[in-house]
Amino acid sequence: MSGVESLARDLVPPDRYSVETIRLLAWGHDMFRDLPGNSLLRLARYYGVVSQREEELHPVLLHGKVAASYLSNRFGIDNDVSKAIYWHVTGSAKMGELGEILMIADMGEEGREFPAAEEIRINAFIDRKKTVLDVIRFKMLWALEERRPLHNEIVCCWNHYLRRYLSDTD
């Protein structure tokens, strides 16, 4: 079992999703992660994924969208699983509960060697909404430190989850 699958299983509310659903989520989310950029761009066009400027410059950002499109077209996977895989790179208000769980499990899985991973793993069980915000924040900080452009989707996701978190804590 992968680290993503293990953490995702632990985060899923009891009896909400099957073991097979979580396994597909964990297996499918990075299935195209290591493809060359030109292949990701070609597959994105093939599946009708409209790439944005940031994705044209850094095609690895498309790997979730391409994986979700492939799995949906080839195997007709569940819409919740598809949305989670599609949005796990940048996040989205549309990603749903499984998307939140996948983002957390992807960044916080056992074996990650950056300091934030352990913090994510621990906090995910205390306050999932805040942990989703932390994952988004860490992704944006990484992009800024690497002098990469911020994808507009992650900025929109940050704003959405921040508003949601603040309204829940008021």
pLDDT digits (tens, 9 = 90+) for 117-142: 999 999 999 999 999 999 999 999 99
- Domain range list for the chain: 3-169
The whole-angstrom separation of Cα 24 and Cα 77 is 9
Confidence (pLDDT) at 29:
97
Confidence (pLDDT) at 73:
97
Please state the pTM of the whole predicted model: 0.94
Tokens at 96, concatenated? 């749903």
Confidence (pLDDT) at 169:
74
pLDDT average per 10 residues of sequence, the chain (170 residues): 93 91 96 98 98 96 98 96 98 95 96 91 95 97 94 97 87
CATH topology of domain 3-169: Hypothetical protein af1432 (1.10.3210)
Torsion of CA 34, 50, 42, 25, to 10 degrees: 40
The whole-angstrom separation of Cα 29 and Cα 25 is 6
